[in-house]
Chain A
Amino acid sequence: MNTWLRNLFLPNPASIKAEGVDDLFMFILWLNILFFLLIAGLVVLFCIQYKRKSATQKTAHIEHNTALELTWTILPLVLCLVVFFWGFNTYMQASVAPDGAMEIQVTAKKWIWSFGYPDGSVAIGKLWVPANKPVRLIMHSEDVLHAFYVPGFRIKQDVLPNRYTETWFHATEVGDYVIPCTEYCGKGHSEMKAVVKVVSQQDYEKFLEEGDPDEKGLPPEKLGASLYVNLGCSTCHSIDGSKGQGPSWKGIYAQQHKMIDGKSFEVDENYIRTSILQPQSMIVEGYQGIMPSYQGQIRERQLVALIAYIKSLK
């Protein structure tokens, strides 16, 4: 029963923090069930037992009962204090990252997550970490508020534009864990997702040396198609011709584009490259200059792949 309820309510625990949070969650859940059954049971019982039988039925005149009232003041108070201290304890234990934790810089902006590693490399949309190692995240936002949430790890922290906030985790199981943004940030909020890739130490080192193994051995067009989602392009650019925050990619290659400053360009490889790296320099008429720059966050191979993908969308 307990395991069944646990699985009904909580995702698989995948960090050392999760167990403590889940134990408290289950304790409160049982308290909830117990008290709800008590309330519902009494209400139903009294409604049946004391159903009005005649208009002149006599009723008890009980104004109050000090012992009873003290009981249902003090008992809930004690239980609440237990929950408070338990919650406080697990929160404090989990609030400071242990010494020697690996540090990763997290940058949030509408509507992508990017991760800066100790060796200077940057990955967008995927947070590669080794299992069984504490990881400390130092986070900031380049625009509005966002929030970093990993349900599998039971961690959440708002990301602010005016100062760093931090959180940490210690993943226990290899696997992929979704990072949904949980602070409302506008149009792309529901699609502002990233993934924590928890891998073995070996695979992690390989990632640092050789880049994303998921991208290896893919033909450029296929790689471009996966980057289209992973890098957040899909939030604003459609591939079916419908109008989004930015121009649709369908059939865009070799089109003539008119800019807001009146100039006109043909969409070719260099146009796409500049649009990705310095989007503010090329704003198409009818759109706002809201695209973030990917300068320094995207590898040459990825650029080529995206261009190949765009060319394939006829």
Chain B
Amino acid sequence: MADVIASPAVHTADHGHHADYLSDPEHKGIWSWMNTVDHKRLGVMYLWCVLAAFFVGGLFALLVRLELMHPGEDFMNAEQYNQAFTLHGAIMVFLFIIPSIPAALGNFILPLMLGAKDVAFPRLNLASFWVYVTGAIMAVTSIVVGGVDTGWTFYTPYSTSTGGAVTMMTMSVFVLGFSSIFTGINFVATVHKLRAPGMGWFQLPLFVWGIYATAIIQVLATPVLGITMVLLVMERAFNIGIFDAQIGGDPVLFQHFFWFYSHPAVYIMILPGMAIISEIIPTFSRRTIFGYRLIALSSVAIALIGFLVWGHHMFTSGESALAASIFSFLTFLVAIPSGIKVFNWIATMYKASISLDTPMLYATSFLLLFGIGGLTGIFLGALSVDIHLHDTYFVVAHFHYVMMGGTVIAFLGGLHYWWPKMFGRMYNESVGKIACGLVFIGFNMTFLTQFFMGSQGMPRRYYTYLDQFQPLHQFSTFGSWVLGAGLMIAAVNLMGALRGPKNAPANPWGGTTLEWQTQSPPITHNFVGQPSIEHNPYDYRNFKVPSDAV
């Protein structure tokens, strides 16, 4: 590997300060944002959209938890409750978590990390954004005009026979899929073609590896979801008999189609989270990452094996014992690369110089929460135990530990990590840490309890329940308030910083990757001149940490 070091100061500081992408006099006004092809502006616009979706999805989550304070009807009846949990799931999955890290942070950071001026297809990037907005508007419309009560999984024949705006919602998922495919194609081409001179595959920052693996899944798996959604709509509109048993279809076929996308989609959600953690830990440890190649390749391994495990969502569906055993076996295989990553991240903290700033605090939270999420997956991979736990709160708790404890915590860590770069402003560090602490405590209060409920036999998607579960349900609801408060404080802290002066240095954390070598916020063309790579990422041996770093 190349061993020569580039001093980050060389490329930019000498050229003085330039107008940044936010205040570029050549790109002013609303219209310059709406038809921008600048990956940074698109990333920022995506960011506002996914944060809005996160807020709405979160409100539905709080409503769901509030209804569960007592058994029986509190303030929502069964129909309203069913709509609330459906919208929570659908909004969080399709509007927030899938586009969150790749489309918002990835769009902004990935080209900078490669030393590129933009993504490979800037106009496709713009199209992707507006397709996303169209899909989001359709989703919101379906909520307003008729409501959807199918659960985010749209299982047939319930989804083909229930009323409400299911057709509109499934079409919205179809449209959102295209946005995801466009982003994926763009990132694959960008990583292949636009790397800075001297940047080989094993000089890529690990964030790029993670987003690259994600992009492959987006391009390969999303079309299957699109086709499935179209078939579902045709079934509803024309009764053609694919999924509906009454006219000769097979409802389990829908589950195969759905999970053939939606299991890889789980990796669309978690791989970018892991990618962020692979950046934060070395930066705040000021140490080279341990086992770079294994982390990079494990992302690709997860992406590929992830295509072969969808049947583990269907162990009780009546699939054959042979199929169930194969899916169970492959499920255990896909767990191994994730385990390797966790141990490599921890090894990176050995003999390091660790500073627990807000992003690193989120990264350590990630290690603990994702640890629990991953470990509890072992229960669900084991055939006989899964039969007992399937479709109970145990599963709900498990995937929230992975999706929220993993991806969302990593997303928050990434936001705090790159916020100074994106907007040129530092937030209040103490408030950031307090918010992170509240999120951590509230999250565990909300979801740890759900493991006990689930294995005791509390089924999911219930608006009422047996009295024996009430204490745990109430504790979980209290936890959701702490969690909500933590997230609100984090939001106020970040947003509040935008009102202050642009005070962020180019490299506030002492990061080694290329995005830290341009000013904060970056200029419209990212770099003055072409940056080149003369050392591996995370190599701190001769790296000069700038004096204005925190």
Residue numbers of A with Cβ under 8 A of B are: 8-11, 17, 20-21, 24-25, 28-29, 31-32, 35-36, 39-40, 42-43, 46-47, 50-53, 55-65, 68-69, 72-73, 76-77, 80-81, 83-84, 86-92, 94-95, 143-145, 147, 149, 151-152, 154-158, 160-163, 165, 178, 180-191
B545: which A residues are within 8 A, CB to CB?
55-56
Q: Which of B37-45, B130-138, B272-280, B380-388 contacts A (4 or more CB under 8 A)?
A: B380-388
A178–B462 Cα distance when bound, in Å, is 15
Q: Are A72 and B287 in contact, CB atoms less than 8 angstroms apart? A: no
Q: How far is the CB of A38 from chain B (nearest CB, A)?
A: 9
Select A84's contact among B79, B342, B368, B382, beta carbons within 8 Å: B382
Interface of B is mostly: helix
- CB pair B158 A57 closer than 8 Å: no
Q: Are A50 and B385 touching (Cβ within 8 A)? A: no
Note all chain B residues with C-beta closer than 8 A to A36.
368, 371-372, 375
Q: Does the CB pair A43–B367 fall under 8 Å? A: yes
Contact across chains for A88 and B383 when beta carbons are under 8 A apart: yes
Complex Cα distance, B355 from A154, in Å, reads: 47
The residue on B at minimum CB distance from A161 is B245
User: Is B354's CB under 8 angstroms from A88's CB?
Assistant: no
Asked if A80 contacts B335 (CB within 8 A), the reply is yes
A-B contact pairs, 16 of them (CB 8 A): A21-B388, A31-B378, A47-B364, A61-B541, A65-B347, A73-B336, A80-B378, A80-B381, A88-B328, A144-B251, A160-B252, A178-B466, A186-B162, A187-B78, A189-B82, A190-B78
- Look across to chain B and name the residue whose beta carbon is closest to the beta carbon of A77: B336
Give B contacts to A, CB under 8 Å: 78-79, 82, 149, 151, 155, 157-158, 161-162, 245-246, 249-252, 285-288, 290-294, 316-318, 321, 324-325, 328-329, 332-333, 335-336, 339-340, 342-344, 346-347, 349-356, 364, 367-368, 371-372, 375-376, 378-379, 381-388, 390-392, 451-452, 455-457, 459-466, 539-541, 545, 549
With a cutoff of 8 Å between Cβ atoms, the chain B residues found around residue A143 in the complex are: 157, 161
Residues of A within 8 A of B465 (CB): 190
Nearest first, the 3 closest Cβ-Cβ pairs linking A and B are A151-B457, A87-B382, A162-B245
**In contact, A157 and B375 (Cβ under 8 angstroms):** no
Q: How far is the CB of B428 from chain A (nearest CB, A)?
A: 20
With A72-B343, A80-B378, A88-B383: A39-B371 Cβ-Cβ less than 8 Å: yes
Enumerate chain B residues within 8 angstroms of A189, measured Cβ to Cβ.
Answer: 78, 82, 461-462
Task: Name the B residues within 8 Å of A186 (CB-CB).
Answer: 82, 149, 158, 162
A63:B288 contact, CB within 8 angstroms: yes
Residues of A within 8 A of B161 (CB): 143-144
CA distance A63 to B340 in the complex (A): 15
Question: Chain B contacts of A59 at CB under 8 A?
Answer: 285-287, 351-353, 540
Interface centre among A29, A35, A162, by most chain B C-beta atoms within 10 angstroms, is A162
Hey, which chain A residues are within 8 Å of B461, CB to CB?
Answer: 184, 189-190
Chain A nearest CB, measured from B178 CB (Å): 28
What residues on B are CB-neighbors of A144 within 8 Å? 157-158, 161, 251
Task: Please tell me which one of the listed residues B384, B456, B459 contacts residue A10 in the complex, with CB atoms under 8 A apart.
Answer: B456
Determine if B351 and A94 form an interchain contact, defined as CB atoms under 8 angstroms apart.
Answer: no
Residues on the B chain within 8 Å of A191, using CB: 78, 464
Select from chain A the residue with minimum beta-carbon distance to B346: A42
Shortest Cβ distance from B387 into chain A, in angstroms?
5
**Pairwise interchain contact B355-A52, C-beta atoms closer than 8 A:** yes
> Separation in Å of the B165 CB from the closest CB of chain A?
16
Q: Which B residue's beta carbon lies closest to that of A68?
A: B347
A10 to chain B, nearest CB (A): 6
In the complex, chain B residues whose CB is within 8 Å of the CB of A77: 336
Q: Is the CB of A87 within 8 A of B381?
A: yes
Quick one: which of A20, A47, A182 contacts B354, CB cutoff 8 A? A47
In the complex the two chains form, is B318's CB within 8 Å of A163's CB? yes
For the A-B complex with A91-B383, A143-B157 known, give 19 more contacts whose Cβ atoms are closer than 8 Å.
A9-B451, A21-B385, A50-B351, A50-B353, A51-B355, A52-B286, A55-B545, A57-B353, A60-B352, A62-B351, A63-B291, A64-B290, A73-B340, A84-B328, A84-B329, A151-B456, A160-B317, A162-B245, A183-B155
Residue of B nearest to A33 (CB): B375
A229–B288 CA distance with the chains assembled, in angstroms: 65
Q: Given A21-B385, A186-B149, are A157 and B316 neighbors across the interface (CB < 8 Å)?
A: yes
A224 to B530, CA, bound (A): 83
A186 → chain B closest CB, angstroms: 6
When distances are taken between beta carbons in the complex, the residues of chain A under 8 Å from B355 are 51-52
Contact A64 B339, CB 8 Å, known A84-B329, A160-B318:
no
Q: Is the CB of A50 within 8 A of B372?
A: no
Residues of A within 8 A of B343 (CB): 68, 72
Residues of chain A within 8 A (CB-CB) of B391 are: 147, 149, 156, 182-183
Residue of B nearest to A62 (CB): B290
- In contact, B78 and A10 (Cβ under 8 angstroms): no
Measured between beta carbons, the chain B residues less than 8 angstroms from A84 are 328-329, 332, 381-382
Point out the residues of chain A lying under 8 angstroms from B162, CB to CB: 186
Nearest chain-A residue to B248 (Cβ)?
Answer: A162
Q: Which residues of chain B are near A158, meaning CB under 8 Å?
A: 316-318
Which residues from B are CB-within-8-Å of A72? Answer: 339-340, 343
Question: Given A9-B455, A63-B292, A188-B78, A35 and B354 touching (CB < 8 A)?
Answer: no
